[in-house]
Structures are given as C-alpha cells and as structure tokens.
Copies of this chain bind each other. A is one copy, B any other.
C-alpha cells in the first residue's frame, strides 16, 4: 500500500471479528515497529504478543476499573457509554513495553526520560500503518494504570507498558474522525 494512503485511511477500530491474525502479519507488524527511530538508536522497546483469552479479560477489567476512576475524576459523563469490550474481542493485543534507561540524554533531565516513550509511540504508529496496509483494524490503547498493567503483563519493575495495540479484522467500517485544516495548525517563521 502507498504510504500516503496508509497514513490518511488508517482508522481507530473498536470492533473486531474473532478470526485469528496470521502469524506472518504479526511478524510484519513487529518488523515495522522496530524500524522506528529512537534516541541514540537505543531501540527501547519490547513486545508481548497476547492471544491468551484470560489475559485479555484481565486487561479489560483494568480498563473498566480505570473508566470508573476517570468518570469520578473528570465528570465526563460520556465515559459511561464508552464500551471497551474490544479489549477481550480483539484476537491479538501487542503490548509495547518501554525502557526508561534507554532514553538518550534526556534520562539526565529533571522532567525524567521521555525519549523512550516517543520512540515507542513512533513504533506504534508504524504498527498501526502496517496493520492497515494488511487489511487489519487496530486500536492504540493507553487507558490503564501503568503499575497495574505491569503486574498484569508480568513486566520488569524498571520498564513501562507504554501502549497496547489491539489488532484484528475489523467488524464493519470504523468511522472516520475528521481533522482540523492545516491553516488552524501551522504558522511560518521566515
């Protein structure tokens, strides 16, 4: 698929059919992930490919727990209607685990390391684009407590579950989300 087509046509998908995802497709998605750039080429990522039903249910429970928490904290009533069943329904979830010790120079900065997270986010974007090019739907999910998700996924203490990527054949066409025009977002300093 053409790069620009993948970038513009990718959608967040929240409904999947149960068919398993081909192993070769998963490998292509992971291969795309590791070609993302990273600070000093530290490649600060690991991936856990989750197809285990019980584990997906635990992830869903953590999402639901966070939803209840966020509802109280934010007062955003629309959260009530936010259904996260796709977490259990997605045939595959790939957890992207980041390593803050591989963050380049910003590991010395007061704000703490962020570069490793940005690299992981770039890896996720490569994954989403590649999934779309393979006819798969995807969702970038981060609505969980990091400490809790570390326990659920049995991640080492010093590492961070930066994102979960849900993957599967889409059930229906995900709705497109519009974008504000460039004129609202860009200024020029010449």
State the A residues within 8 Å of B (CB).
1-4, 6-8, 10, 12, 27-28, 30-32, 34-37, 39, 41, 43, 45-52, 55, 66, 70, 73-74, 76, 79, 104-106, 108, 111, 114-115, 117-122, 124-126, 128-130, 133, 140, 142-143, 146, 153, 162-163, 177-180, 182, 185-190
B4 pairs with A32, CB closer than 8 A: yes
So how many copies of this chain end up in the complex? 2
Show 27 A/B contacts (Cβ-Cβ < 8 Å), sorted by A.
A1-B2, A1-B3, A3-B133, A4-B133, A10-B35, A10-B37, A12-B37, A34-B180, A36-B125, A43-B185, A46-B185, A47-B186, A47-B187, A48-B186, A49-B186, A51-B189, A70-B105, A104-B142, A104-B143, A114-B117, A114-B142, A118-B118, A118-B120, A118-B121, A118-B163, A121-B122, A129-B129
